Amino acid sequence: MSEKLSKRIIEIAKAKSMNRTRRLRKSEGIRRLVRENQLTIDDFIYPLFVEEGKNIEKEIVSMPGIKRYSLDKIDKELDEVVALNLPAVLLFGIPSEKDEVGSETWNDNGVIQQAIRHIKTKYPSLYVITDVCFCEYTSHGHCGIIHENDVHNDDTLVNIAKQVVSHAKAGVDMVAPSGMMDGTIATIREALDHTGYGDLPIMGYSVKYASAFYGPFRDAADSSPSFGDRNTYQMDPANRDEGMREATFDDEEGADILMVKPALSYLDIIRDLKNTYDRPIACYNVSGEYAMVKAAAEKGWIDGERVMMESLLSMKRAGADIIITYFAKEVAKVLSRN
């Protein structure tokens, strides 16, 4: 490049100096002042796996750092959650007995019901949310009652109502139905309103895709289907407009919070919901997303902490008000030292 051209480029750059956006990146002080999105501890919900039995503290191999606990072992984990000032936990139960319909889900002395009572008694400041589904409780691993090798939508709704009322009686603060049956939110709202629990909020798994990113969770919760897949009741990853229809149904039926699951591959859907609905928007940073970061960091291929923070920030930037993530404890520690 000639000297004349080089001088001309510099002259043009100087003439455009009013547009130098780098001025607002000059130091950490100015970057903090103009930062558009920030993560706070209050953004996070921490998932917990509670297994029926005693003396259980079992590492989930595909999710390093995450364990399944029996109630007699879970206090160590809950003590840390409370000490880190995390506001909420999302409970998943693993029962000792399963059957065709998942009847342990509405057993008032079931593993989740016991966990709710334990936490609300010993850790009253902790906000307790329960996953409302059947896959961990059914012998076939699907999310409801099976008719002709598929989940029967309306028969499953009857059992969903039984499950949420049992959770409500145990003292849960919020229910989060994940099974993607049509009419779930309306069914739950009706069941709660007519049993004296009208103030109990619902976080709908409103846009839940049939995703390959759930793989490690199925190890964690013993919830792999024994036949077929979940493509008839979870969404096709190719579909965007369908997600808006699903969210609209949940919004109209009375969901208090709308969720997108998974998060990282569906940031566009999070933004769609944020732009459309006047409700809090949640997302679920799922097990496969967590496991990939952990595995790559273990290999030394990435800076695990920075990738964790950047990934979670992308969800916040996309519009998520609430982030469910297995990273919750780790991110709380990072935020507390910054």
Residues labelled catalytic = 208, 261
Q: Report whether 160 contacts 128 (CB < 8 A).
A: no
Pairing outcome for strands 257-261 and 127-132: unpaired
SS3 190: helix
Q: Beta strand pairing status for 88-94 and 44-51?
A: parallel
- Give residue 271's identity as a one-letter amino acid code: R
CA-based end-to-end distance of the chain: 46
- In the DSSP assignment, the letter for residue 264 is G
Q: What's the token pair of residue 261?
A: 């699951």
Helix axes 153-170, 111-122, angle to 10 degrees: 30
If we measure between CA atoms, which residue out of 127, 108, 111 comes closest to residue 69? 111
What are the φ/ψ torsions at residue 135 (nearest 5 degrees)? -60, -35
How many helices (H) and strands (E) the chain has is answered by 12, 12
Angle made by CA atoms 87, 93, 99, in degrees to the nearest 5: 160
> Helices marked H in the chain — which ranges?
3-15, 28-34, 75-83, 111-122, 153-170, 184-193, 215-221, 241-253, 267-276, 287-299, 304-318, 328-337
